[in-house]
Amino acid sequence: MNTLKIAVQKSGRLKDDSMKLLKDIGISIDNGKDQLKATATNFPVEVFYLRNGDIPQYLKDGVVDAAIIGNNVLVEKGNSIEYISKLGFSKCRVSIAVPKNMEYKSLEDLNGKQIATSYPNTVNAFLEKNNIRASIHVINGSVEIAPNIGLAEAIVDIVSTGGTLFKNNLVEKEVILKSEAVLAVSPTISAPQKAILDKIKFRIEAVLKGQSSKYVLLNAPNDSLEAIINLLPGMKSPTVLPLAESGWSSVHSVIDKNQFWDIIDDLKALGAQGILICPIEKMVL
Give the pLDDT confidence score for residue 23 in this predicted structure.
Answer: 93
Give the pLDDT confidence score for residue 115 in this predicted structure.
Answer: 96
Q: Are 11 and 33 in contact (CB under 8 A)?
A: no
CB atoms inside a 10 Å sphere around CB 34: 8
Question: CATH class for domain 92-179?
Answer: alpha beta
Mean pLDDT within 152-162: 92
Is residue 78 scored above 90 in pLDDT? no
Give the pLDDT confidence score for residue 86 in this predicted structure.
Answer: 95
Mean pLDDT within 5-12: 92
- In sequence order, the 6+-apart residues with CB closer than 8 A to the CB of 86 are 71, 180, 181, 182
What percent of the chain stands above pLDDT 90? 76
The CATH classification number of 213-279 equals 3.30.70.120
Give the pLDDT confidence score for residue 97 in this predicted structure.
Answer: 96
Q: Model confidence over 82-112: pLDDT tens digits?
A: 999 999 999 999 999 999 999 999 999 999 9
- In sequence order, the 6+-apart residues with CB closer than 8 A to the CB of 250 are 217, 218, 219, 220, 240, 241, 242, 243
Domain spans of the chain?
4-90+180-210, 92-179, 213-279
What percent of the chain stands above pLDDT 70? 97
Rounded to the nearest integer, the mean pLDDT of the chain is 92
Q: Do domains 4-90+180-210 and 213-279 have the same CATH topology?
A: no
Residue 86 is which amino acid? K
Q: At 278, give phi and psi (nearest 5°).
A: -125, 145
Give the pLDDT confidence score for residue 257 in this predicted structure.
Answer: 87
CA–CA separation, 282 and 285 (whole Å): 10
Mean pLDDT within 196-211: 94
Mean pLDDT within 218-239: 87
Question: CATH class for domain 4-90+180-210?
Answer: alpha beta
Q: At 51, give phi and psi (nearest 5°).
A: -65, 135
Give the pLDDT confidence score for residue 33 in this predicted structure.
Answer: 65
pLDDT tier at 155 (50, 70, 90 boundaries)?
A: very high
Give the pLDDT confidence score for residue 192 in this predicted structure.
Answer: 95
